[in-house]
Chains A and B, each alone.
Chain A
């Protein structure tokens, strides 16, 4: 076969070929889906970028609040509750102190000393009542604290080994 014949054959075969070639499966669906996904991804990324600073801000606020909650002292909800709490703590301290001193019988004390303890208890009650009328009065809270301390000090003077040895 010479060169001319082979060229004619190729041209004939080319002209026999179909003008369009249809793919065996429909690719347009995939392409369309791909384009749609890309758009969605861009929109979603944009939205994500908007949330990032907000997330950081929220994290910082959360961390600050958490730290505040952990570090700041536990406070009673109201001044009245604070007074109740102070009195309860005082009673616990007093009982613990009496246990340490071997549960002495306060009723066996001379009348003059019993009267001191009664006066102190009555003073505490008066201050507590006064605080009900004027709950945010820090001066009264300080007097209550001092009166409680005086009562504990008196018990120390009456029953502690150190004072017993005087």
Chain B
């Protein structure tokens, strides 16, 4: 016990040393009982890789204007922080920053906050929460609870599994080979996903969406003015719910889909059905129209609603 109480402060002291601006660093720290890593870097590039044994290492070059580099254990978390001068304005976010590579054990939770810092993250098996303002995020091979969020940065993800939440305001999101439960939200960014997630939820305001979904149990899509293109395999007893205001919804569904279809357009949207011979019925009064039909045993449900966008249903 005495050893721990004396060694840890010494280690902390060693690794909290002030670093010179633009300095190269190569440091490592034993994990001890830590379960979480919190990383803060204003600008630059950070690579985070899981797979190390029982220590965390940081290598690379600090930001030219870094005042201090903190690398220490605080209870159950390890903090890695590039401390920058407080008077740096928002305008300096796009200048060159730190260039760091962090290796850590795959079982640790990872939190990252950066402003214009790009981050690449791979091979983590525990919860991950990444937030940037304008920095891009690239995530590969993560499993568990994953939150990736940016304001104007783009998000690229591949081989994610678990409870996945990807969001951006104006950045684009491109997801590949995800599984588990996937939620994507953007305001004006575009979304592309090729996923085998069983539950998928998508929300956009003006962004365009293209999805390829394999055996989805539940799909929920809300769009305002963007268009949606989807190649979707709906699982048995699946549920698809989509709503759009002025954006078009184009769905290519599995040929053997067994579902009840309820498609409704409030104000002039065209309903085009290439799945069966059923035709849309226009309301006697007003511009609304509806298309109701059943395919196969109707075990799944497809509900689509639009105000003025067009809806097209066809097979893959």
Show the binding face of A for B, using Cβ within 8 Å.
109-110, 112-113, 115-116, 119-120, 123, 126-127, 130, 133-134, 137, 139-140, 142-143, 146-147, 150, 154, 157-158, 163-166
Point out the residues of chain A lying under 8 angstroms from B243, CB to CB. Answer: 137, 139-140
Size of the B side of the interface (Cβ < 8 Å), in residues, is 38
Is A133 a contact partner of B133 (Cβ separation < 8 A)? no
Point out the residues of chain A lying under 8 angstroms from B131, CB to CB. Answer: 157
Known contacts: A133-B266, A139-B222, A146-B203. The answer to whether A119 contacts B187 by CB under 8 A is: yes
CA distance A110 to B307 in the complex (A): 37
> How far, in Å, is A143 (CB) from chain B's closest CB?
5
Is A113 a contact partner of B187 (Cβ separation < 8 A)? no
CA distance A134 to B222 in the complex (A): 13
Is B86 a contact partner of A164 (Cβ separation < 8 A)? yes
Residue of B nearest to A113 (CB): B90
Is B90 a contact partner of A109 (Cβ separation < 8 A)? yes
Within the complex, which residue of B113, B205, B220, B245 is in contact with A123, where a contact is CB–CB below 8 Å?
Answer: B205
Known contacts: A112-B152, A116-B169, A163-B113. The answer to whether A123 contacts B203 by CB under 8 A is: no
Is A130 a contact partner of B152 (Cβ separation < 8 A)? no
**6 A–B pairs (Cβ distance < 8 Å), ordered by A:** A143-B224, A150-B187, A157-B115, A163-B113, A165-B86, A166-B42
Known contacts: A130-B245, A134-B266, A143-B222. The answer to whether A123 contacts B187 by CB under 8 A is: yes
Within the complex, which residue of B81, B133, B152, B222 is in contact with A140, where a contact is CB–CB below 8 Å?
Answer: B222
Residue B35 at the chain A interface, CB threshold 8 Å: no
> How far, in Å, is B34 (CB) from chain A's closest CB?
21
Point out the residues of chain B lying under 8 angstroms from A139, CB to CB. Answer: 203, 220, 222, 243
Known contacts: A123-B187, A142-B203, A143-B222. The answer to whether A166 contacts B41 by CB under 8 A is: yes
Point out the residues of chain B lying under 8 angstroms from A146, CB to CB. Answer: 185, 203
Point out the residues of chain B lying under 8 angstroms from A150, CB to CB. Answer: 151, 167, 169, 187
Which residues of B (86-107) have their CB < 8 Å from a CB of A?
86, 90-91, 93
Which residues of B (103-136) have their CB < 8 Å from a CB of A?
113-115, 131, 133-134
Known contacts: A119-B187, A163-B113, A163-B115. The answer to whether A130 contacts B91 by CB under 8 A is: no
Q: Binary interface profile of B, 40-75, with partner A (CB < 8 Å = 1, else 0)?
A: 111000000000000000000000000000000000
CA distance A140 to B188 in the complex (A): 15
Show the binding face of B for A, using Cβ within 8 Å.
40-42, 81, 84, 86, 90-91, 93, 113-115, 131, 133-134, 151-152, 167, 169-170, 185, 187-188, 203, 205-206, 220, 222, 224-225, 243, 245-246, 266-267, 305, 307-308
Point out the residues of chain A lying under 8 angstroms from B151, CB to CB. Answer: 116, 150, 154, 157
> How far, in Å, is A160 (CB) from chain B's closest CB?
11
Within the complex, which residue of B134, B170, B203, B224 is in contact with A130, where a contact is CB–CB below 8 Å?
Answer: B224
Known contacts: A119-B187, A166-B42. The answer to whether A147 contacts B222 by CB under 8 A is: no
CA distance A46 to B206 in the complex (A): 73
Is A120 a contact partner of B222 (Cβ separation < 8 A)? no
Q: A119-B188, A133-B267, A146-B185 are in contact. List 13 more A-B contacts (CB 8 A).
A: A120-B169, A120-B187, A123-B187, A126-B205, A126-B206, A130-B246, A133-B308, A134-B245, A137-B243, A142-B203, A143-B224, A150-B151, A166-B40
Report the 4 A-B pairs with minimum CB-CB distance, sorted nearest first.
A139-B222, A130-B245, A123-B205, A139-B243
Residue of A nearest to B225 (CB): A126
Point out the residues of chain A lying under 8 angstroms from B187, CB to CB. Answer: 119-120, 123, 147, 150
Known contacts: A116-B170, A137-B243, A143-B203. The answer to whether A166 contacts B86 by CB under 8 A is: no
Point out the residues of chain B lying under 8 angstroms from A142, CB to CB. Answer: 203, 222
CA distance A42 to B103 in the complex (A): 96
Point out the residues of chain A lying under 8 angstroms from B86, CB to CB. Answer: 164-165
Residue of A nearest to B267 (CB): A133
> How far, in Å, is A105 (CB) from chain B's closest CB?
11
Is B205 a contact partner of A143 (Cβ separation < 8 A)? yes
Residue of A nearest to B82 (CB): A166
CA distance A158 to B131 in the complex (A): 13
Point out the residues of chain B lying under 8 angstroms from A163, CB to CB. Answer: 113, 115
